[in-house]
Structure 1
Amino acid sequence: MVTKTEETELNRLEIQVDNGGGGAWEYLCLVRKLKVRRSDKVLKHGLSILNDPKKRSNLGPEEWTLYEQVAVAAMDCQCLDVAKDCIKVLQKRFPESKRVGRLEGMLLESKGSWAEAEKAYSSLLEENPFDQVVLKRRVAMAKAQGNMSGAIEWLNKYLETFMADHDAWRELAEIYVSLQMYKQAAYCYEELILSQPTLPLYHLAYAEVLYTLGGLENLQTAKKYYASTIDLTGGKNTRALFGICLCTSAIGQLTKGRNKEEKESPELHSLAATALEKIYKQRAPTKLPLLNSALKGLKI
C-alpha cells in the first residue's frame, strides 16, 4: 500500500519530469518500486530514455528492466507496436527467458488472441507449475473475457498453493460480491482479517457483506465489525458510523416485541449519530439536514 509520503514524492517527481525538470529515471524507478500504474507517463518518459543511445547506455543492466517496464505500459496504452519492439529486443538478449515468455503471453492477451495466450501460459506452467505471475495472468484473462466463473476457479486453485496472497483473497472477495455470492465473499474477508487484523478496510468490507446477508446473527456480527472499523480509524470512518446506525435499526426491527434483555441497546447508535453530525458540520454543513432526516428515519 502506497503511503501519503510516497504518493507526494511520486507526484512531485511526475510534475518535475512533465515540465522538463529532469529525473525521468528516478520517476520510473519509483513507479516500479511502488507498483503503481502510470502507464501513459511510463511510456512517454521511458521511450525518451530508450530512444536516446547515451541515456540508455548509462543505465547499464537496468536497460533491460526499462524495456520490460515500457513494454507493459505500452500494452496498457494499446501501443502494441511499441510493446512488440521492446519484447523483440528482450527476446534477442534473453532468448530462453521465461520472464520474456510471460511478456509474449501478455502481448497475445492485448491483441485478444486468447487461445494463443492460453497456449503460451500452459507451456510456461509445464516448466514451472508454481509461476505466480502466469497463474495470475490466467485469472486476468478470464476476467477480461467476462468469464467470472473461470476467474473464480483459477483464483481458488491459485490460493490452494499461495494462501498468504492477500491481494488474491481480496480480488476473489470482490468477484463474489459482484456476483452477489455474499457467503463466499464473507469467507474471503474472514481470511483477510485473520492475516491482517489491523487493516480497517477488511473489517468494513466484512461488516457490509454481513449486513447485506441480513438475519439477526449476521447483523449483530456486522455491528461488531463496524465498531472495530471505527476503533481502527479513530472514529472517522463515516461508512462504519452509518453502518452502526443501520444495524441497530435493523436489529431493533427483528427483536421488536421481545424481552428487554434481548433488545439492542441504543447507546452505540446514539454515539455514532453524534459522531456523524460532528463530521458533517465540519466537512459538509449544507448536507447536515439530509443526514438528520436520514437518521430520524431509522427506527430504533
Structure 2
Amino acid sequence: MVTKTEESQLKNLEIQVDNGGGGAWEFLSLVRKLKVRRSDKVLKHGLSILNDPKQRSTLGSEEWTLYEQVAVAAMDCQSLDVAQDCTKALRKRFPESKRVGRLEAMLLEAKGSWDMAEKAYTSLLEDNPLDQIIHKRRVAMAKAQGNISGAIEWLNKYLEIFMADHDAWRELAEIYLSLQMYKQAAFCYEEVILAQPTVPLYHLAYADVLYTLGGLENLQTAKKYYASTIDLTGGKNTRALFGVCLCTSAIAQLTKGKNKEDKEGSQLHSLAAKALEKDYKQRAPDKLPQLTTALKSLTLSS
C-alpha cells in the first residue's frame, strides 16, 4: 500500500518531470518501487531516455529494466509497435529468458491473439507453476474476452496456490456478486477479513452479502459485522448504521412470538437510529423527514 508520503513524493516528481525539470529516471524508479500504474507517463519519459544514447549509457544494467517497464506501459497504451521493439531488444539481449517469454505472451494478449497467448502462458507455467503474474494474466485475459466462468476458474486455481492473496479473494468476491452468487461471495469475504481484519470496507461488504442472503443466522452475523464496521470507523459509517437497523428489525420479525425480546438488539437499534438522525441533521437536514419515516417502518416486535 502506498503511503501518503510516497504518494506526495511521486506527485512532486511527476510535476517536476512534466515541466522539464529533470528527474525522469527517479520518477520511473519510484513508479516501479511503488508498483503503481502511470503508463502514459512511463511510456513518454521512458522512451525519452531510451531514445537518447547518452542518457541510456548511464543506466548500466538498469537499461534492461527500463526496456521492460516501457514495454508493459506501451501495451497498456496500445502502442504495440513500441512494445514489440522493446521486447525484441530484450530477447536479443536475453535469448533464453523466461521473463522475456512472459512479455512476449503479454504482447500476444495485447494484440488480441488469445489462443496463442494462452498457449504461451501454459508453456511458461509448465516451467514455473508458481509464476503469480502469469496466473493473474490468465484471469485478466478471460475477463477481457467476457469469459466470466473462465475468470472464476482461473482465480480459484490461483487461490489454491496463493491462498494469502487477499486482493484475489476480493476480486473473486466481486465477480460472484456480479453473478448474484452470494454464498460464494460471502466465503470470499471471510477470507479477506481473515487476511485484513481491521479494514472496515470488508466488514461492510460481508455484512451486506449476509443481509442479502437473509435467514436468522445470516442476519445475526450481518448485524455483528455492521456493528464492527461502526466500531472500526468511529461510528461514522452511515450505511453500517442503517444496516444495523435493518438487521435488528428483520431479526425481530423472524423471532416474533418465538423468543423474548432481544434487549441487546433493541438497544443497538436505538443507538444506531439516534446516530443516523444526528448525522442527517448535520449533513443532510432536508432528508431528515425521509429518514425518520424509514426508521419508523423498522419497528421491533416484542
Q: Aligned partners of 1:221, 1:177: CA distance in 2, in Å?
A: 19
245 and 55 in structure 1: CA distance in 2 versus 1, 3 angstrom threshold: farther
- Secondary structure (helix, strand or coil) at the match of 1:204 reads helix
CA-CA distance at 1:180 after TM superposition: 0.9
CA-CA distance at 1:14 after TM superposition: 2.2
Other-structure match for 2:217: 217
Other-structure match for 1:36: 36
- Secondary structure (helix, strand or coil) at the match of 2:261 reads helix
275 and 127 in structure 1: CA distance in 2 versus 1, 3 angstrom threshold: same
Q: Look up the equivalent residue of 1:138 and give its one-letter code.
A: R
Once the two structures are superposed, the pairs formed by residues 22-171 of structure 1 within 5 Å of their partners are 22-171=22-171
Deviates further, 112-121 or 136-145: 136-145
| Unaligned segments of structure 2, at least 5 residues | none
210 and 44 in structure 1: CA distance in 2 versus 1, 3 angstrom threshold: same
| Unaligned segments of structure 1, at least 5 residues | none
Other-structure match for 1:194: 194
Kept in 2, the 8 Å contact 1:252–1:264? The answer is: no
- Secondary structure (helix, strand or coil) at the match of 1:101 reads helix
Q: TM-score, normalised by structure 1?
A: 0.91
Other-structure match for 1:239: 239
CA-CA distance at 1:86 after TM superposition: 1.1
Other-structure match for 1:182: 182
Q: Look up the equivalent residue of 2:105 and give its one-letter code.
A: G
57 and 269 in structure 1: CA distance in 2 versus 1, 3 angstrom threshold: farther
256 and 135 in structure 1: CA distance in 2 versus 1, 3 angstrom threshold: same
- Secondary structure (helix, strand or coil) at the match of 2:197 reads coil
Q: Aligned partners of 1:53, 1:139: CA distance in 2, in Å?
A: 38
Identity of aligned residues (%): 84
- Secondary structure (helix, strand or coil) at the match of 1:36 reads coil
Q: Look up the equivalent residue of 1:64 and give its one-letter code.
A: W
* Number of aligned residues: 300
CA-CA distance at 1:264 after TM superposition: 6.6
CA-CA distance at 1:216 after TM superposition: 1.4
Other-structure match for 1:228: 228
Deviates further, 60-69 or 192-201: 192-201
CA-CA distance at 1:196 after TM superposition: 2.4
Q: Aligned partners of 1:131, 1:153: CA distance in 2, in Å?
A: 17
295 and 61 in structure 1: CA distance in 2 versus 1, 3 angstrom threshold: farther
Q: Aligned partners of 2:21, 2:288: CA distance in 1, in Å?
A: 45
Q: Deviation string for 1:247-286 (max 9, x for gaps)?
A: 2232233233444335773322232233334444454555
Q: Aligned partners of 2:98, 2:283: CA distance in 1, in Å?
A: 52
Once the two structures are superposed, the pairs formed by residues 250-289 of structure 1 within 5 Å of their partners are 250-262=250-262, 265-285=265-285, 287-289=287-289
Other-structure match for 2:21: 21
Q: Aligned partners of 2:47, 2:291: CA distance in 1, in Å?
A: 51
Other-structure match for 2:7: 7
